[in-house]
Amino acid sequence: MEVTVVGRLLIVSILISVLAGCAGTSKDTYISNSVNSSANNSYQPNKSYVNVVTNFFKWEMYKLPYEDQVKQEQAVFYALDNSQEGEVIEWYSNETNSSGKVSIVMSYPQGSGYCRVLFSQINYKNKLRDFKETACRNGSTAWTFLRR
C-alpha cells in the first residue's frame, strides 16, 4: 500500500508531537487549560488529514513558549492562593510580547476544603483566548483542576 503525501505529513506531525511530549516529561508542570493551551481558538473540523495537520500546526504555532507558560502558571497559583475575588493578576513578557491575566470570580466550600472559579486570558502573537477553570483543594493538598 502506497503512503500519500498527506499520510506522510500526518505521520511526521504525530512523531513530532510524541517526541515533544517525551522531551517534556522531566518538566514539573501542572495541567491547566490556560497554561498548556494554544492562544488560537479557530480550528477546522477534523474531517480530513489535511485539516488534522493544519490544526496541529495552528495549535503549535500559537502555543505559549515554556517561559510564558511558567508565568501563566505562577499567576494562576498566586491568584488561587492569595487574591480576593475580582482582583486581577497580570503578567507580561518583553521577549515574546505575550501577556496574561487571571482573576478569581467565585469561591465555594467543597467537602472539607473549597473550590475557586477563575477566569484567565492569554495573548500571544495577537491571538487572544479566554478560559474558565475551577480548582479545588482539601486541607493542605495541592490544587486539583476539574475537567468539564
For the stretch 36-95, pLDDT in tens is: 777 777 777 888 888 888 888 887 888 899 999 999 999 999 999 999 999 999 999 999
Report, as an integer, the average pLDDT of 30-41.
74
Quote the crossing angle between the two packed helices 5-23 and 49-61, to the nearest 10°.
30
How many C-beta neighbours within 10 Å does residue 133 have?
Answer: 20
Residue 28 above 90 pLDDT? no
97: left (phi over 0), alpha (psi -120 to 50) or beta: left
**Angle 91-94-97 from CA coordinates, rounded to 5°:** 80
pLDDT at 4: 63
Residue 99 above 90 pLDDT? yes
Confidence band of 21 (pLDDT split at 50, 70, 90): very low
pLDDT at 109: 92
pTM greater than 0.85 = no
pLDDT at 24: 41
Confidence band of 19 (pLDDT split at 50, 70, 90): very low
Distance between CA atoms of 23 and 19, rounded to whole angstroms?
6
- Strand 99-110 and strand 127-138: pairing? unpaired
Amino acid at 138: N
- What is the overall mean pLDDT for the chain? 81
Residue 9 above 80 pLDDT? no
pLDDT at 39: 77
Q: Choose among 88, 96, 90, 105: nearest CA to 127.
A: 96
Residue 100 above 90 pLDDT? yes
Looking up cell 494562576, which residue turns up?
A: 76
